[in-house]
Structure 1
Amino acid sequence: MNRAYRLAISGVLTAGLVAGGAATAFAAAPAPAAAHKAVAAAKPAPKPALTAQASAQAVKAWQEFRVTGKATAIKPGTTVTLQQQKGTKWTALPAKVTVNKNSTYSMRVKLGIKGKNTLRVAGGGAVSAPFVVTVR
């Protein structure tokens, strides 16, 4: 124990003895091992995160494909939505599913806008990395 800590403990013990007995003094003294463990055990909660990938990189117009992924630190039952980038804005598409008890999701998607479509999945306070599906 370092000197400052010993002095602090002896001051608490002395104050406890003067105030009303040894039981008070020992109850007021902090337990150094327990205090250290409590600080070490307090870890920050993981941040919500989503992954997303398409089952195909290129499809015909209105051909069905799947978007699947994993949800980290997001409760099962949380709704995730497919979003499409239009200019600098992200627009929600009518493709929504809930995260299952295994923290994964899978949704069926059909796109009709020909060309490169930049997509992502959002929900539960997280967004996935964007990915591209080309519609021919």
Structure 2
Amino acid sequence: MTSVLRHRYGRAIGSGTLCVALLSGGTAGAFAASPSPSPSGNGSASPTGTESPSPKGTASPSPTGKTSITATPGKSSVKAGSMVTFTGRTKGLKVGSPLVLQHEKNGKWTALKATAKVKTGNSYALVAKLNDKGTQHLRVASATKEGKVHSPTVTVTVN
């Protein structure tokens, strides 16, 4: 029970942090969404010019190092057949680049019918209908000329 609550609190804090980063936009949002290393290499720069230590456990950069996608589901638990909205931001992808929602099934990632395009401001929103009951491991992916890029895996429970 305690670990379940801890997991839910962690998910809520992570979602709140991402929402603040997405809403702040501009340079403050860029610093919050993707910390850049400081000239000394032992921390990250902040909008105020002060240095803060590098966060532990952050997602590793994408294989290309230039592009990335974030994904946040609107709900972490839904009924079978319900719609879920996934939102996020991209880095290094052109406006209009196609995105697709993928789910992991039998160890392989397969595309669902949910698609979206990168909007001005590098954001996106896609809506998916989840029918398969159980824990769904999902990610948002792009297969463009910039290379195959995908978001970290997110989990949605379908009852």
Query: Smaller-chain TM-score range?
Result: 0.5 to 0.7
Could you tell me which amino acid in structure 2 is paired with residue 81 of structure 1? Answer: V
Q: Which residues in structure 2 correspond to 1:36-51 (within 5 Å)? A: 47-51=66-70
Q: Which residues in structure 2 correspond to 1:19-30 (within 5 Å)? A: none
Higher helix share: 1
TM-score, normalised with respect to structure 2: 0.56
CA distance in 2 between counterparts of 1:96 and 1:108 reads 8
Could you tell me which amino acid in structure 1 is paired with residue 156 of structure 2? Answer: V
Larger radius of gyration: 1
- Conserved? CA contact 1:58–1:133, under 8 Å: yes
CA distance in 1 between counterparts of 2:95 and 2:71 reads 16
**Secondary structure, in 3 states, of the residue corresponding to 1:129?**
coil
Structure 1 segments of 4 or more deviating over 3 A?
none
Unpaired stretches in structure 1, ≥5 consecutive residues: 1-44
Whether 2:87 is the aligned partner of 1:68: answer yes
CA distance in 1 between counterparts of 2:65 and 2:84 reads 31
**Secondary structure, in 3 states, of the residue corresponding to 1:94?**
strand
Between the aligned residues of both structures, percent identity stands at 36
**Secondary structure, in 3 states, of the residue corresponding to 1:113?**
coil
Deviations 1:50-96 (A, max 9, x none): 00010000000111120011000110000000000002100000001
Whether 2:102 is the aligned partner of 1:79: answer no
CA distance in 1 between counterparts of 2:116 and 2:98 reads 6
Match of 1:103 in 2: 122
TM-score, normalised with respect to structure 1: 0.65
1:94 corresponds, among 109, 113, 116, to 113
CA distance in 2 between counterparts of 1:107 and 1:56 reads 13
Q: CA RMSD in A?
A: 1.4
Match of 1:42 in 2: none
**Secondary structure, in 3 states, of the residue corresponding to 1:76?**
coil
Distance 1:57 1:48, change over 3 A: same
Match of 1:128 in 2: 151
Deviations 1:14-33 (A, max 9, x none): xxxxxxxxxxxxxxxxxxxx
1:118 corresponds, among 116, 130, 137, to 137
Unpaired stretches in structure 2, ≥5 consecutive residues: 1-63
Aligned pair count reads 92
CA distance in 1 between counterparts of 2:80 and 2:105 reads 18
